[in-house]
Structure 1
Amino acid sequence: MFHAAGRYGHFATVAQARPPGSPASCQRRHRPSCRFEWFLGDGGDPAELVTAWLADNGLPVRNLVRTASNFHPIDVGTPCGASLYVSAAAGSVMAGGAPGRPSPVPEIPDVAAVLYVHTEPAPIPESGLSPRPKDHGESPTVAWSLGGWEDSWTPADHAAAVSEVRSAIARGDVYQVNVVGHASAPYAGDPGPSLQRVTELPGARYGGFLAGDGWAIATASPETLVEVRAGRVITRPIKGTRPATAQGRRELLESAKERAEHVMIVDLERNDLSRLPGVGPVRVDSLFAVRRWSGLWQAESQVSAPIDGELGLAELLRAVCPGGSVTGAPKLAALDEIARVEPVGRGVSMGGLGWIGTDHLDLGLTIRTVAATAGRVHLWAGGGITWGSDPQAEVAEAAAKAAPIRAALAGS
């Protein structure tokens, strides 16, 4: 479960690149020190285990309100913060729900944290990635190439799953369910530059990397799973998608179906935050604001609450994981439906990845996120299903969300 940070083979180029959500003030002034990893088969409470590990390494995660006033000098060797990743399956376990189908990337942990400590400023590499350590025993570099994509279900299977969810809604089992599909492709060569292109897609609020022994995660997520800053806990659910054109913007703003779906998830997030210990009244700061991600318009709201008592990271993770916008309502019933209709596990997608600092916490939801393992890349895409959903339109929406990721990986 506990490891020293070390070499990562083909993923050495991304192992020390920018972690999502990390502060600009620490860029090129920190290095990975040690790491925590937890797999579904390990047992125990992953929320408590990772919280205890972070606390033991000097981060103020037992009482998050303290992050509003903590100050740590940037001295060499002092903790800067930690990357934290939680898979969708681990989030389901934390919430007491079904973990779903087996992951297509079982070599990637379900929870991972990497502690960073301050170091002397490093030069800025031209590529944005850290230079790869020399290894004179390695074979010559192979040019990057990406093979054909293989989907875990056909468009007809995806449409049928949407219809099954609509039937469950008609029975009253659920009100809304997010349905996600998976695809993977073989590759040859160094994946680093292609993964970098993913993190640089327009609108990638949480663009960045996490790497381990034989794997890497690259995210272009625009969505905040949870943020704690200046004494408030914040979430920014995204729900509702249209092409990034003038007509698409009008359609999104005028769609009764998209707005109803969005408001349902905002209510779910309000409920999630209201169940937290140590928080005051929950409010909706903004509702159905239109934001752009790559070639798409998406609707985003902000829900927040003041922290007026003790709130620990473990309690926070149990409340917000997995995110309401990628599960549905009611959340536990939606998780059961997801486990029933999706063909493979969600792997690194629909979970959380971000930064636990000495003065703030900022975790992105791992939508628009890629996993790379030895010789293969993986991605996931889907959307929220309500009674008003059209199966063919949902299939098209998922393809539209995946298209910029596929293009970035291919080099176009």
Structure 2
Amino acid sequence: MRENGPDGVEALPMRYVDVPAAPVGCRDRLTERARLEWWPADGGDPATLAQEFLADHGIALDDLSRPAAHDPRGVCGAALYLSAAAGARTAGGPPGAPTPVPALPEMAVVVYGHAVSPAGPPVDPTPGGWWLGDWRDSWTPGAHADAVAAVRAAIGRGDVYQVNLVGHAAAPYAGDPLPALARLAALPGARYGGTLAGLGWAIGCASPETLIALEDGRLVTRPIKGTRPATTSGRRELLASAKERAEHIMIVDLERNDLARVARTGSVRVDELFAVRRWCDLWQAESTVSAAPADGLGLAALLRAVCPGGSVTGAPKLAALERIAALEPVGRGASMGALGWVGPGRIDLGLTIRTAAADAERLHLWAGGGITWGSDPASEVAEAAAKAAPVRALLAAG
């Protein structure tokens, strides 16, 4: 576990902070004050460690039911990243296969304060000297299809109802990866577009999905499940698909149950069901589920309730995590976790789908989809490729 206080980071240069969901009006005045990075070998519960570290640096998130205000003169808030493996640990499930990006921590918390003067403009997103090599997938289309068939067999036995399967690919690069990762924020529908970086690692996110947010005193999650090409016929097909709607509603019910564990009794509601929205060249179905936080609910308990996200695990969640650990040959790394902003009176964490990561030598990318009894293996392989294609194309640009 690495922990830096103000003395360890105050010499870092000021730069425009593009952490997903960071306050827009503060991004050019944010300066790093403290940082915590955690790996499983460090021990302990990452959710608890995150809450305690934030409290030690002026961000008290021990009772989310209490109103709190942003202080423009003091600590602004913090970037929070929690990997899928860390989320599985908090949920009591298996962590899955080893990560392909060991330099990347499984949890990172970066506290920011306000500087007196603004930083310079953001880094040029198209610098010279960038090269990205060929992508190498961690499983073949055939192996992916076999995993889909294995999930269908588990569903047939009654072991699970739905499992999300995720594949990984890596490509060598030369140059600075951060500008390439920053380009992902420009993808249409990237509600959680942005980056987070540390020593020897960086994450770029183009996620459209809200894992958990605190909005107007309510906890909100927006699960996405169901995909078709962004054509007129694709939209019509998605709306008419009984398979996609059943899969989607199953995850909505899972998210309702997750929120009910930490909500005021009787306050959970579905505000919007199966709304079709666009991300790049795809239509996707999204719902909105909200609840009032229970009195005394802290950040750690909230993370334990919602991580890892139901739309990227399956139902029942723990049984799905066991299938994932058995079938996926490579860990999920930066994908399928949480990344966003926490601060006084504010939580806004995206689910890290459409997310890439860099270590010193390679870029890493993950994509997948939910498997039900009605899934066709070839179609699931094609859907994962369609989700990865816009991210691959933008990372190669420049």
TM-score computed with the length of structure 2 as normaliser: 0.95
Give the counterpart letter for 1:285 in structure 2: D
Number of matched pairs: 393
Q: 1:79 to 1:280 in 2, by over 3 A?
A: farther
Give the aligned CA root-mean-square deviation in angstroms.
Answer: 1.8
The answer to whether the Cα contact below 8 Å between 1:60 and 1:358 also exists between their aligned partners in 2 is: yes
2:373 aligns to what? 387
State the partner residue of 2:203.
217
Contact 1:180-1:382 within 8 A present in 2 as well? yes
Contact 2:17 2:30 in 1 (8 A): no
Query: Structure 2 CA distance, aligned partners of 1:288 and 1:322?
Result: 21
Amino acid at match of 1:87: S
Tell me if structure 1 keeps the 8 A contact 2:168–2:365.
Answer: yes
Residues 126, 334 of structure 1: alpha-carbon distance in 2 compared, 3 angstrom cutoff: closer
* AA matched with 2:390: P
Deviations 1:239-266 (A, max 9, x none): 0001111111101101110000000000
How many angstroms apart in 1 are the aligned matches of 2:110 and 2:136?
32
8 Å contact kept, 1:14–1:216:
no
Question: In the superposition, relative to structure 1, how do residues 201 and 194 fare at CA in structure 2: closer, same or farther (>3 Å)?
Answer: same
Deviation at 1:15, TM superposition (A): 7.6
Partners of 1:3 and 1:35 within 8 A in 2: yes
Deviations 1:131-164 (A, max 9, x none): xxxxxxxxxx971111000000000000000000
Q: Which runs of 5+ in 2 are unaligned?
A: none
Instruction: Write the distance in 1 (CA, Å) between the matches of 2:172 and 2:14.
Output: 19
Determine the structure 2 residue equivalent to 1:132: none
Other structure's SS at 2:147 match: helix
Q: Residue 31 of structure 2 corresponds to which residue in structure 1?
A: 31
What residue ranges of structure 1 are gaps of 5+ in the alignment?
130-140
Q: CA deviation at 1:72?
A: 3.9
Instruction: Tell me which of 250, 257, 262 is aligned to 1:276.
Output: 262
Going from structure 1 to structure 2, the CA distance change for 1:19 and 1:126 (only over 3 Å counts) comes to closer
Instruction: Note closer, same or farther for the CA distance 1:358–1:278 as it changes in structure 2 (3 Å cut).
Output: same
Q: 1:47-88 deviations in whole A, cap 9, x for unaligned?
A: 11111111111112101122xx3224312xx10000000000
The structure 2 residue matched to 1:143, chosen from 129, 132, 157, is 129
Matched with 1:3 is: 4
- Matched residue type, 1:28: D
Number of the residue aligned with 1:107:
103
Separation of aligned partners in 2, 1:313 and 1:334:
24
Checking the alignment, whether the CA contact within 8 Å between 1:16 and 1:32 is kept in structure 2 is: no
Give the aligned residue type for 1:107.
A
Q: How far apart, CA to CA, are the structure 2 residues paired with 1:125 and 1:303? A: 37
Shift of 1:280: 4.4
- 1:258 is matched with which residue? 244
Distance 1:123 1:15 in 2: 5
Aligned to 1:125, the other structure's residue is in SS state coil
Q: How does 1:10-409 map to 2 (within 5 A)?
A: 17-66=17-66, 69-75=67-73, 78-125=74-121, 127=123, 143-276=129-262, 278=264, 280-409=266-395
Tell me: CA distance 1:364–1:317, structure 2 relative to 1, closer, same or farther (3 Å). same
Q: CA deviation at 1:120?
A: 2.2
Which TM-score applies when normalising by structure 1?
0.92
